[in-house]
Amino acid sequence: MDQHQDGHNILADLDEPIQETKKVTDYVSCIIDPRLNNSKNVILGDVAKLQDFEACQQYLKTLVFNKSTQDKHEKHIAGVHSPHDGRKQRGGKGEGGKSKTKEDLTKNYTKPEWFKLLA
């Protein structure tokens, strides 16, 4: 992102400034990660971001940072194991006196379930 801005700064110093909308559309067209397709559409549809290269960059930087933080958080949550599935257990035995397996003890929560737990 910084290299792109540096190029625009050099052109401005040479009295060859580029229009903000061209900066933004050129920048967005170079983003090839399909996970950012929705973000590209937001930028192209938001006049404030489309006409302000700095706002466009800040939006994407914030989005990428928050997304990577959320992905790490979700991976951490997925790795947490519940000691039981909500039923009382005695001596590590489940129904029929059989020992519980690791898969029986693991609970994956949906996002709504997880947020209810946090509330």
Tell me the domain boundaries of the chain.
Answer: 2-66
- The three-point CA angle 90-92-98 to 5° equals 100
37-77 tens-digit pLDDT: 999 999 999 999 999 999 998 999 999 998 888 877 776 66
Lowest mean pLDDT among 18-27, 32-41, 89-98: 89-98
The pair of structure tokens assigned to 102 is 């690791």
Phi, psi of 86 (to 5 degrees): 100, -15
Cα separation values, 34 from 11, 13, 79, 84, Å: 30, 34, 26, 39
pLDDT of residue 41: 95
